Chain A
Amino acid sequence: MSLQKVEFVETPGNIVRKCPGTKHHICCGYQTIDLVEGCVLSCSYCILKAYLRDDTIRISCKPEAIIAELDGMIDHRTDHILRFGTGELSDSLAIDRRYNLNRFLVDYFGHKRKAILELKSKWADFSHLLPHLNPYTVISFSVSPQRFIDAEETRTSPIHKRLKAARLAQDSGCFVGLHFDPVVIYDGFERDYRYLIADIGRMLDPARILWISLGTLRFPPALYDLLLQRRRRYLLSGEFIRGEDGKYRYIKTERIRIYRMLHRLLKDIDPGLFIYLCMERADVWKEALGIDLKDSEGLIGLFDERVKNLYGGTL
């Protein structure tokens, strides 16, 4: 699938880390397991292009050490339900069939039953994991209109395959997650998202969607330069400002408009869906979703409640 170089490396320090989040924004308290750094899918807007020194895929998979780290964190954390993911510096599934990196994590979380593992991807094949899945693994897909995927996510699975894979995960007894991230403004994007959400409503069981995130396009200045150089028309159609964290993002009034639209369309499918904003300001939460959050702790509390409701207090 890719000619990118793959290296197995020894990473100094911890592999399991707190998601860095971003200044002045509400963060969800996610924990990342950075098994892989770099991605074969190479989406045009990917921030890894700006952060990583080259396109080599670096794998640092030492199961015993990672399990020891996870044990340390999960056993000592009693105030919140921890959520972990391997899709921060890479795609969770894109090279997993070949290297089988997530299997030990799926087994670990299944036995531990105290925290959640999220495998977040744009790659619709997880059949190698199917016999091992358990309710403590959440299969998640980034979702975008096919028109956008064709333009900017050219190496990824088409949207209908992602949604079919999500349905397969639900039918196998897993909860799934959906990530509308990045949501991108381009001519006709509203209509495309309406169709996309209608497809989601038709193909998935809303009762088994654990969470849905919404996040509009944002990127560091270094990536902005790359997008200009590469003339990414889809990605540069909206109106950008520099946020307090230095990143480019759409002007606030546009972000609110988009979140309101997506929130309404999703709630029309099922009012019980748990929808959160990724890296947004408190006032945007209030204006777009009508939720008053003071800080990240407030959002983490909402996640706890959601997980407890769906897992029936077993976590």
Chain B
Amino acid sequence: MTNVPLARIDLKDRRFSLSYPPDDEDLRWSIATVGIVQPVILLDRTPRIPVAGWRRLRCARELRLREVPAIIVDLDEKTALLRAIHDNLARGFNIIEKAAAVQAMDRFGFSREEIFGLMARLGLSPHEKVLSTFLRIASLDARSRDFIFRKNLSLRNVESFLRFEGKERRRILAALTGLRVTESTLREILEMLELIRIRKGRLTGRDIPVMESSDILRAHLKQKTHPILSSLAKKLKAIRSAMALPPGLDIRVDPFLEKEYIDIIVKIGSEDDVEAALGKVSELVAAGHIRRILELTKGRIR
């Protein structure tokens, strides 16, 4: 190990850089407090090329350190990349780092078997289709990669996101980046956007408005992709509101209005509760509310 002046390291050479995101506040604080504990690995070239420790070097530069502890290695590019990958393997890779590692191996001419070997180690299915997805992730613009990372997108949602054109992806980012959105809601939103795109041929800004919450956006899209279901749901809501159900009595309807029956749920603590509930149910029947709901579930109303 030796101390190497920062000025003699080519910090712009990122050919072995895998770390994402580049900023790490905890690491910065740690280095500011106790310095660099783990030496970085540098390739024996002039100037030195970082192999592992990119984030440490970035912090060192920001903290205006003059030199860093380093191990100098003399390796060919492919071996250096493997060193970089293995140096980071123990801490675990996020999806963007996996993509960067796979892309780097592809770029440096590793065989498919070697790349698939790494993919299996990273918990990815070693298949051409998955490889192609990860190569696409690695070549995405910074904003898209950050979205995938911050929202912790599943591979399925990533694949769906990648099926949109660049312009469409930017529109999706504008609408979704600021929203709190769960994995399943995101999946639903992306699916609906895909449907709209397939039906219309393309997505315009009006198809993906910026809205206050993911629920409002989801409801907005649902009206476009499922106009009949949305209209029936509205009618059901109106009936429910007119029924004014008391606490302890609930009517459950299949959200897709597919089941021909409905469930009437009664919570009782006494015989009086039973009588009250039955009385209310009879009132609902007499007022035609139950018949109207059944007309919805039996497909008689559009």
Instruction: Give A residues with C-beta under 8 Å from B.
Output: 24, 228-229, 231-233, 236-237, 239, 241-244, 251-257, 281-284, 286-287
Binds A, one of B5-13, B252-260, B284-292: B252-260
Partner of B199, one of A233, A284, A287: A233
Known interface pairs A244-B258, A251-B257. Does A283 touch B299 (Cβ–Cβ under 8 Å)? Answer: yes
Given A236-B195, A241-B229, output 4 extra A-B contacts at Cβ < 8 Å: A229-B163, A241-B257, A251-B256, A283-B260
| A281-B256 Cα distance, complex, nearest whole Å | 14
Contact B198 A251 (CB under 8 A): no
Contact B191 A242 (CB under 8 A): no
Contact A241 B299 (CB under 8 A): no
Contact A231 B198 (CB under 8 A): yes
| A285-B120 Cα distance, complex, nearest whole Å | 50
> Which A-chain residue is minimally distant from B201 (CB atoms)?
A233
Known interface pairs A231-B198, A284-B299, A287-B298. Does A239 touch B260 (Cβ–Cβ under 8 Å)? Answer: no
| A233-B195 Cα distance, complex, nearest whole Å | 9
Instruction: List, in ascending order, chain A residues with CB within 8 A of B194's CB.
Output: 228
Contact B226 A252 (CB under 8 A): no
In chain B, residues 223-278, which have Cβ atoms closer than 8 Å to a Cβ of chain A? Answer: 225-229, 232, 254, 256-260
Contact B258 A287 (CB under 8 A): no
B65 within 8 A of A: no
| A244-B194 Cα distance, complex, nearest whole Å | 24
- Contact size range, B: 20 to 34
Contact A244 B259 (CB under 8 A): yes
Partner of A239, one of B198, B229, B301: B229
B91 within 8 A of A: no
Contact A253 B258 (CB under 8 A): no
Instruction: Give B residues with C-beta under 8 Å from A.
Output: 159-160, 163, 191, 194-195, 198-199, 225-229, 232, 254, 256-260, 297-302
> Which B-chain residue is minimally distant from A225 (CB atoms)?
B156
Contact A252 B198 (CB under 8 A): no
8 closest cross-chain pairs (CB), A and B: A241-B256, A252-B299, A283-B260, A253-B299, A256-B299, A283-B298, A231-B198, A253-B302
Cβ distance A283 to chain B, nearest Cβ, rounded Å: 4
| A254-B259 Cα distance, complex, nearest whole Å | 15
Show 17 residue pairs from A and B whose CB-CB distance is below 8 angstroms, ordered by the A residue. A228-B191, A228-B194, A229-B163, A232-B198, A233-B198, A233-B199, A236-B199, A239-B226, A241-B229, A242-B256, A251-B228, A251-B257, A252-B257, A252-B297, A253-B299, A284-B299, A287-B299
Instruction: List, in ascending order, chain B residues with CB within 8 A of A282's CB.
Output: 260
Known interface pairs A228-B195, A232-B198. Does A243 touch B298 (Cβ–Cβ under 8 Å)? Answer: no
Most chain A CB within 10 A, of B227, B228, B301, is at: B228
> Which B-chain residue is minimally distant from A227 (CB atoms)?
B198
> Which B-chain residue is minimally distant from A240 (CB atoms)?
B226
| A2-B260 Cα distance, complex, nearest whole Å | 45
| A233-B299 Cα distance, complex, nearest whole Å | 25
Cβ distance A277 to chain B, nearest Cβ, rounded Å: 13
Cβ distance A218 to chain B, nearest Cβ, rounded Å: 12
> Which B-chain residue is minimally distant from A232 (CB atoms)?
B198
Contact A241 B199 (CB under 8 A): no
| A257-B299 Cα distance, complex, nearest whole Å | 9
> Which B-chain residue is minimally distant from A236 (CB atoms)?
B198
| A177-B175 Cα distance, complex, nearest whole Å | 51
Cβ distance A54 to chain B, nearest Cβ, rounded Å: 13
> Which B-chain residue is minimally distant from A24 (CB atoms)?
B259
| A242-B188 Cα distance, complex, nearest whole Å | 13
> Which A-chain residue is minimally distant from B225 (CB atoms)?
A239
Cβ distance A295 to chain B, nearest Cβ, rounded Å: 13
Instruction: List, in ascending order, chain B residues with CB within 8 A of A239's CB.
Output: 225-229
Cβ distance A215 to chain B, nearest Cβ, rounded Å: 16
| A236-B201 Cα distance, complex, nearest whole Å | 12
| A286-B295 Cα distance, complex, nearest whole Å | 13
Cβ distance B56 to chain A, nearest Cβ, rounded Å: 41
Instruction: List, in ascending order, chain B residues with CB within 8 A of A236's CB.
Output: 195, 198-199
> Which A-chain residue is minimally distant from B194 (CB atoms)?
A228
Contact B225 A252 (CB under 8 A): no
| A42-B300 Cα distance, complex, nearest whole Å | 36
Contact A253 B301 (CB under 8 A): yes
Instruction: List, in ascending order, chain A residues with CB within 8 A of B254's CB.
Output: 244
Instruction: List, in ascending order, chain B residues with CB within 8 A of A286's CB.
Output: 298
| A30-B261 Cα distance, complex, nearest whole Å | 27
Cβ distance B190 to chain A, nearest Cβ, rounded Å: 9
Instruction: List, in ascending order, chain A residues with CB within 8 A of B257's CB.
Output: 241, 251-252
Cβ distance A298 to chain B, nearest Cβ, rounded Å: 15
> Which B-chain residue is minimally distant from A252 (CB atoms)?
B299
| A278-B18 Cα distance, complex, nearest whole Å | 54
| A281-B159 Cα distance, complex, nearest whole Å | 35
Cβ distance B50 to chain A, nearest Cβ, rounded Å: 39
Instruction: List, in ascending order, chain A residues with CB within 8 A of B226's CB.
Output: 239, 241, 251
Instruction: List, in ascending order, chain B residues with CB within 8 A of A237's CB.
Output: 199
| A229-B225 Cα distance, complex, nearest whole Å | 17
| A306-B301 Cα distance, complex, nearest whole Å | 33
| A229-B156 Cα distance, complex, nearest whole Å | 11
Most chain B CB within 10 A, of A242, A252, A255, A257, is at: A252
